[in-house]
Amino acid sequence: MFDPALVKPAIAESFRKLSPRAQLRNPVMFVVWVGSVLTTLLGIQAVYGQGEAPAGFIFAISAWLWFTVLFANFAEALAEGRGKAQAATLRHSRRNVMAKKLDHPRREAEITVIDSASLRRGDLVLIEAGEIVPADAEVLEGVASVDESAITGESAPVIRESGGDFSAITGGTRVLSDWLIARVTANPGEAFLDRMIAMVEGAKRKKTPNEIALTILLVALTLVFLMATVTLLPYSMYGVNAAQSGSPVSITVLVALLVCLIPTTIGGLLSAIGVAGMSRMMQANVIATSGRAVEAAGDVDVLLLDKTGTITLGNRQASAFLPAPGVTESELADVAQMASLADETPEGRSIVVLAKEKFALRGRELHDAHFIHFTAQARMSGVNIGERQIRKGSADAVRSHVEAMGGQYQQGVADLVDQIGRRGGTPLVVADGQRVMGVVELKDIVKGGIKERFAELRVMGIKTVMITGDNRLTAAAIAAEAGVDDFLAEARPEDKLKLIRSHQTEGRLVAMTGDGTNDAPALAQADVAVAMNSGTQAAKEAGNMVDLDSNPTKLIEIVETGKQMLMTRGALTTFSVANDVAKYFAIIPAAFAVTYPQLKVLDVMHLYSPASAILSAVIFNAVVIIALIPLALKGVKYRALGADALLRRNLLIYGLGGLVVPFVGIKLIDVVLGLIGVA
């Protein structure tokens, strides 16, 4: 976080941000900036013997007010610097290369070699092995292996092909094998990588609704304290005239009082918290196309999650051997393993492994064996060993095969098939010639730990909904095992869209992931829509986030990151408002001790002198911003708590801490100032 490569530019940027135009974007810190200018002018006036207070005191106050502004600028600049460092890495992967432009989508078409910066949306390009993809495009013809490590950080290449959900290619990636003909989908400066860089740098970051609302609250508090502070000057003048002694409170002290009472801590860190939220998303390899999406992720009430690859591993695995009447489990396992020896599918491999684990059955050499591979028409696979025919496949296909050979399909096997279906599994019936041996149960395995994650989300008030194309029986079984709150079975694109709208009608915020063109309508409707980087261009354009890792489970991490940003903002706001109370007890008695001696009772800290009390409060007000920068950038530690528990925790830690820490900090600074004789 405090790498010199980031800190040095941030320090320089802190001074550049001192311009009035830059400060006007943050009303609270603009008030501090005006106070700094005013006290500087008062200090210069005091040098020439016309000051309201000693020049040294005024300049000390002025210096620490400038430090307050600089520290707030530094927090924002450091957060932006982290984003710029990430953007520099992305920019390095963006290259201006030569592109092979085609006049029609065929490989034998006429080729014109042009600069990639000259490509426009709709242009056709040919990319061959070893070449850099010149622009964001959609594959029209060909299949190729593509290295996307420059974008995703993953070294393993991916397959890109036409006509499916893996047809989008990103400019700056490299084709490793074969060739592709693609249509350019973005003009120069509008490509995915360009948008990533702009968002990561924070160049186009707009304030989110919650951030705007909090800014309005901070401005309102600032105006209230400003009016209250302004009225103190005539009150003190009246007190002096009435008592015929003492002197009215100085403008320098009033400025110090105003700066210490307005919420400068959260005002100085608010922008840094927002920028850091975007940066944390980038560290998770997620590009948010708007800050609003990051914030919305923290307010999500409903998560729509695909079953395959998100809740389950995605590959059905053999989980049990269920023998037919009169057959032992080991006999069924032996025959099922022989039928699967040449089956390279995940299901076939899992049958071989399960037989080996349960009965120590290992692959054996089968002489005179002819393997029968699975086809969509036959819906069976197996092996012929001489006259012996071993088959495994769907219940209907194996039943027809057995009956055609003169065998009988037992009712007990049919019952087993029905039981597996009700449990949400997939039955594979195994036959040895005319004899049905039993059923192998395949299950789409629920990911380890996913049920606990869903329980945490439930505590936070987030509803999880599983979306699957499976029938209702299968969907219900997997939903129960995974611990989701609800499910949508046999889901079509219009069903997803209808479900999202129904939840939004109830006032809920909905998050979902998708990668295909058919997911685009639902992604466009969702409040937080995470498109997979491996997905289609339509999905990426419909979503407001892109997961570079194309990992559907990332949605849960995205919600947690959004929650963490909101928790951080709430915690620091609580701390900022609470610590104003301590500064009140430090400055008010010191500022008015001469005019109103009765206020001496409020001097609970027994500070060294009025000047020391005021200067100590101003110093603490500046230093606390620097002390809280790590918390603002890293975020408070995420905990899966409900809103009530989270509020109690914030009030206990940051509310009580905001009351106690300033008393201790101001007293320590006062002691040091007293020892060195500054005030």
List pLDDT tens digits, range 158-194: 788 877 667 788 887 888 888 889 888 888 777 666 6
- The pLDDT assigned to 448 comes to 78
Q: How far apart are the first and last CA of the chain?
A: 35
Q: What percent of the chain has a predicted confidence (pLDDT) above 90?
A: 12
pLDDT value at 200 more than 60 = no
Which of 441, 341, 428, 353 minimizes the C-alpha distance to 392? 428
Query: Binding-site residues for Mg(2+), please?
Result: 515, 519
How many whole angstroms separate alpha carbon 511 and alpha carbon 391?
Answer: 44
pLDDT at position 94 is 59
Q: How is residue 629 written in tokens?
A: 């920068």
Residue carrying structure tokens 């973005």: 186
Residue list, annotated binding site for ATP: 343, 347, 392
How far apart (Å, rounded) are the C-alpha atoms in residues 189 and 197? 10
List phi, psi (to 5°) of 677. Answer: 70, 30
Encode pLDDT of 270-300 as tens digits: 888 877 777 778 777 787 776 677 878 888 8
pLDDT in tens, 375-386: 767 778 888 988
Question: How confident is the model over 80-128, as pLDDT tens digits?
Answer: 776 666 666 666 655 677 888 888 888 778 888 888 888 888 899 999 8
Kindly tell me if the per-residue pLDDT of 13 is higher than 70. Answer: yes
Average model confidence (pLDDT) across the chain:
82
| DSSP result, 575-594 | HHHHHHHHHHHHHHHHHHTT
Residues comprising the binding site? 343, 347, 392, 515, 519
> Concatenated DSSP letters for 126-150?
EEETTPBP-S-EEEEE-EEEEE-HH
Query: Of residues 339 and 202, which shows the higher confidence score?
Result: 339
C-alpha span between 318 and 310 (Å, rounded): 20
What torsion, rounded to 10 degrees, do the Cα atoms 517, 519, 521, 526 define? -140
Query: Quick check: 129 pLDDT over 60?
Result: yes
Query: Closest Cα to residue 488, out of 506, 512, 455, 507?
Result: 512
Highest mean pLDDT among 94-98, 605-609, 628-632: 628-632
Task: Report which secondary-structure segment, H or E, holds 288.
Answer: strand 286-288
- Annotate 12-68 with three-state secondary structure: HHHHHCCCHHHHCCCHHHHHHHHHHHHHHHHHHHHHCCCCCCCHHHHHHHHHHHHHH
| 359-365-367-368 Cα dihedral, nearest 10 degrees | 90
Catalytic residue of the set 123, 136, 194, 306: 306
Residue 486 designated active-site: no
pLDDT higher for 134 or 66? 66
Residue length of the chain: 679
Q: Note whether 127 and 175 are within 8 A (CB).
A: yes
Q: Do the beta carbons of residue 125 and residue 135 sit within 8 Å?
A: yes
DSSP code of 600?
G
Q: Which of 19-23, 368-372, 376-380, 499-503 has the lowest mean pLDDT?
A: 376-380
